[in-house]
């Protein structure tokens, strides 16, 4: 959300000639998720450039269709809105530099907005991600997506990444029976081919689930968690840990820090925030030489580096098991002495 005023005779870009806007007035500009921001809107820009028209059910339905169409293609959709705020209204508001101004603007100014339009952002996954997911799955590691994106967008991106193999066979919260006994729920078996379809859950779904539904959800091979908050990400980690799962969590933002810290292995991306990298156990980095005249080497994050990390980790673990087995064998094969204390001291001296 941005609030600005102008003393110029030229109107700010979002202002229509049909609006009553004085040079001392303010323009409130907002962007956000359509399902959240739409509730605060009362008008929509006229498609022909005329005065804003009241928001009706047909306009909402048209916006929703566009949003879902773009989201199904993996685009992140934002709604843009505005509101002209008369200077007389601002006379009752705290100073813009005051810490209380944000709460005041949200409660009193961020309402009665006029929709400017929708924007679709295309952020395709890196080309190495599908192969990385395939290799990890072959190593017996399940891959889930936890994101704040809209559910349709999250599923589309998950399918592009190979996290969801068939988006047409998705299960949702309604497919998880609340009344099933936890002891009777089929447990996940990585060798079994008869597994339930992919599951998609949103943040509000997680707030409604009981222990039985969580138990069922944790048995899926493919899961997409959409519209999640940092608190819900942390709960997802703890729910899988309660079921004896070793959880590795990747993230790069400040909001990912709690779940990175709680996971058995917190994995931060090299280009992420300092807070995330400090909370993580591992930081994924890949060195490459940039194509410049100075040929300077830089560090960037690469999701495929996780394959190398798992390979080295499992090699070290196998070597430790071999050492332990060898030591155990030496202990078992060592002869037991039945000599007297005097003989034992003699043998000790001779051996020394």
Residue 309 in domain = no
Report the pLDDT value the prediction gives residue 298, as an integer from 0 to 100: 42
Report the pLDDT value the prediction gives residue 219, as an integer from 0 to 100: 93
Phi, psi of 26 (to 5 degrees): -115, 155
- Looking at 83, 101, 121, the residue that finishes a domain is 121
Residue 310 in domain = no
pLDDT per position as a tens digit, 108-142: 888 899 999 999 998 888 888 999 999 999 888 99
Q: Are residues 40 and 98 in the same domain?
A: yes
Domain span at residue 108 reads: 2-121
- Looking at 285, 305, 327, the residue that finishes a domain is 285
Q: Are residues 90 and 237 in the same domain?
A: no
How many Cα atoms sit within 13 Å of 321 on the Cβ side? Answer: 6
Report the pLDDT value the prediction gives residue 215, as an integer from 0 to 100: 96
Comparing CA positions, the residue from 162, 276, 175 lying closest to residue 221 is 162
Q: Are residues 266 and 221 in the same domain?
A: yes
> What's the rounded Cα separation, in Å, for the pair 28 and 96?
12
Q: Are residues 147 and 67 in the same domain?
A: no
Report the pLDDT value the prediction gives residue 163, as an integer from 0 to 100: 93
> What's the rounded Cα separation, in Å, for the pair 151 and 154?
5
DSSP 38-52: GGGEEEE--TTS-S-
Q: Are residues 106 and 203 in the same domain?
A: no
Report the pLDDT value the prediction gives residue 18, as an integer from 0 to 100: 65
Contacts of 191 (CB under 8 A, 6+ apart): none
Q: Are residues 164 and 258 in the same domain?
A: yes
Residue 331 in domain = no
pLDDT per position as a tens digit, 284-303: 876 544 444 443 434 445 77
Contacts of 162 (CB under 8 A, 6+ apart): 129, 130, 133, 134
SS3 164: coil
Helices vs strands, H then E, count in the chain = 13, 15
Q: Are residues 69 and 87 in the same domain?
A: yes
Is-above-0.85 flag for pTM? no
How large is the angle between the packed helices 129-138 and 305-333, nearest 10 degrees?
20
- Looking at 121, 148, 170, the residue that finishes a domain is 121
Report the pLDDT value the prediction gives residue 320, as an integer from 0 to 100: 87
Distance of CA 227 to the CA centre of its chain: 9
Report the pLDDT value the prediction gives residue 350, as an integer from 0 to 100: 37
CATH number at residue 38: 3.40.1110.10
Write out the E strands in 147-296. 170-171, 198-202, 223-226, 248-251, 265-269, 282-284, 286-289
Report the pLDDT value the prediction gives residue 290, as an integer from 0 to 100: 47
pLDDT < 50 stretches in the chain = 1-2, 6-8, 288-300, 336-352
């Amino acid at each position: 959300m941005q609030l600005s005023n102008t003393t110029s005779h030229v109107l700010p870009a979002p202002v229509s000639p049909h609006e009553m806007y004085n040079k001392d007035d303010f323009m409130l500009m907002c962007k956000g998720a359509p399902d959240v921001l739409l509730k605060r809107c009362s008008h929509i820009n006229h498609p022909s450039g005329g005065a804003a028209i009241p928001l009706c059910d047909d306009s909402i339905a048209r916006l929703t269709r566009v949003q879902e169409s773009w989201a199904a293609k993996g685009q992140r959709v934002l709604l843009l809105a505005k509101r002209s705020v008369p200077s007389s209204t601002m006379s009752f508001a705290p100073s813009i530099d005051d810490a209380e101004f944000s709460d005041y603007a949200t409660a009193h100014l961020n309402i009665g907005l006029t929709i400017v339009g929708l924007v679709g952002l295309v952020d395709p996954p890196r080309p190495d991600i599908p192969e990385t997911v395939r290799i990890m799955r072959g190593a017996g590691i399940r891959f889930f997506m936890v994101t704040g994106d809209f559910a349709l967008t999250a599923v589309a991106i998950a399918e592009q990444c190979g996290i969801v193999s068939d988006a047409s066979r998705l299960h949702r919260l309604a497919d998880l029976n609340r009344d099933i006994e936890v002891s009777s729920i089929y447990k996940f078996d990585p060798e079994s081919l008869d597994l339930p379809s992919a599951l998609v859950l949103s943040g509000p779904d997680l707030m409604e689930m009981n222990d039985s539904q969580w138990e069922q959800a944790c048995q899926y091979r493919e899961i997409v968690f959409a519209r999640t908050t940092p608190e819900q990400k942390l709960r997802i980690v703890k729910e899988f840990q309660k079921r004896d799962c070793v959880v590795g969590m990747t993230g790069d933002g400040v909001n990912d820090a709690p779940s990175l810290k709680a996971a058995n292995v917190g994995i931060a991306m090299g280009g992420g925030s300092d807070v995330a990298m400090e909370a993580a156990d591992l930081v994924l980095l890949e060195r490459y030489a940039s194509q410049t005249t100075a040929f300077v080497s830089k560090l960037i994050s690469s999701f495929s580096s996780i394959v190398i990390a798992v390979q080295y980790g499992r090699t070290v673990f196998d070597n430790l098991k071999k050492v332990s087995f060898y030591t155990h064998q030496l202990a078992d094969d060592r002869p037991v002495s039945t000599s007297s204390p005097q003989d034992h001291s003699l043998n000790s001296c001779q051996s020394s």
